[in-house]
Amino acid sequence: MAQAIRPVTMPKWGIEMTEGTINQWTIREGQQVEKGEPLLEVETEKIVNTVESPAAGTLRRIVACAGDVKPVGSLIAVLADEDVSDAEITFFIDSFKGATVSFEPDAEGASAGGATADESQLSADEPRISPIARRLAEKLGIDISQVKGTGRNGRIGKEDVEAYAARLDVMAGGDGTTAGSVAAVAPGASTMQANAGSVAALAPDASVAEANPFKRLKLSATRATIARRLLESKLAIPHYRLTIEVDVERLQQHRRALPSQPRISLNDMLLRACALALVRHPTLNAQFAGEEILQFEHADVAVAVASESGLITPIVRAADRKSLQQVASESGDLAERARRGSLTKPEINGGTFTLSNLGMYGVTSFDAIINPPQVAILAVGAARAGVVVRNGAPAVTQLITLTLSADHRVVDGAEGAAFLATLKDLLQAPDRL
């Protein structure tokens, strides 16, 4: 039976992956499949990956359906020869034990059957938690008894604490307390403690639910990643903002005079200008890596793209070395595939700077949140009619508002202002793009 039955388990892509969401199955139960043939799609970290069949055979049982979230190494389907009975398949599923994959830095040295020194100090009724997860929970003010562990024997890891913190942040109101909660918060209590203590208030009572029906939507893998990273950014990065207005009338005229193929948008020209400005101001073309700052030679500019599953930021690599036409062609392809969910992980990982444009929605200005480990992001508003002074007389022109959010640990205010000044000069002299 062992040779005739083959498990299909949740794969692991990258050291940080702990779970995946089943997006869709491309093979039906009872269907023959060859080794290496696409079997299903799994969503992780803002991208959708195709899982290939590990062996040839018949897909006898699907254990995890579309929408299910499964940890790495868990059983999601069973391949078997046609002469294997259903009872044998059921027995195999019931007795299957998935692989435990842990990359926690404090997990090294722990024996398979023993507890770590930190765990041995826990009382019998306390949850098992790794030291790094405990420190993070204490820093965020999270009650660890409310966190569900996804590790072996329910052990709580760093990722579990981060995921729980992200869910609390998503449910939080703008004033720092959970929406709908009227519970008082003790003086000195952290925002996270306030949120954790009032989660129960999120469930409307019967009378409210009857008057205004609602539905619960589980966070997708992409949305959970977005929530976790934004929470990390807001908690850890000291943001400051600088705003500047730019006359883009000449830029628009220049764009309309360019060849129609490839179609070049205002955003493409902004991306190219950002890339050129970044290599002149390398302080912003950087990533913050704990005790180090990584300054890059070329500008890998991430472009925020709205998709059904959430905000995706594909990257135009070395945009400072590419022509405006190349930038337009590449960014258009990346944006289209981002909306289809067909980007690869290297196409969204890294980046030295992010450009976020909401002008197409009529938004004139906004503040953007830095995408760590990057140290800056540019928010672009809509082009609008405005009045400027030319040769001592008022003149109507096209203006856009640019807002730079920067990490004050890395980028001083004067450096951010100098970057914006260079960017403005480039946009108002479009021949240089």
Mapping DSSP to helix (H, G, I), strand (E, B) and coil, where does residue 325 land? helix
DSSP bridge partners of 353? 301
Amino acid at 23: N
Distance from chain centroid for Cα 164? 15
Range 166-180 burial, b when 16+ CB lie within 10 A, else e: bbbbebbeeeebbee
Question: What's the number of CA atoms in the CB half-sphere (13 Å) around residue 38?
Answer: 10
Mapping DSSP to helix (H, G, I), strand (E, B) and coil, where does residue 370 land? coil
Secondary element (H or E) of residue 402: strand 393-407
Integer CA distances (angstroms), 78 to 23, 58, 60, in order: 18, 8, 6
Mapping DSSP to helix (H, G, I), strand (E, B) and coil, where does residue 379 land? strand
Active-site residue, from 254, 281, 298, 408: 408
**Is 292 exposed, middle or buried (CB count within 10 Å of its CB: 0-12, 13-18, 19+)?**
exposed
**Tokens in use for 129?**
């938690």
**Which residues neighbour 319 within 8 Å (Cβ) at sequence distance 6 or greater?**
271, 272, 274, 275, 298, 299, 300, 301, 327
Mapping DSSP to helix (H, G, I), strand (E, B) and coil, where does residue 138 land? helix
DSSP bridge partners of 41? 24, 50
- Quick check: is 281 catalytic? no
Angle, nearest 10°, between helix axes 266-280 and 249-257?
Answer: 110
**Which residues neighbour 199 within 8 Å (Cβ) at sequence distance 6 or greater?**
146, 168, 171, 178
Distance CA 301, CA 377 (A): 10
Distance CA 32, CA 55 (A): 11
In which residue are the tokens 């004139």 written?
Answer: 364
Phi, psi (degrees; rounded to nearest 5) at 18 = -120, -20
Distance CA 43, CA 343 (A): 11
Is the previous residue joined to 213 through a cis bond, with omega within 30 degrees of 0? no
Active-site residue set:
408
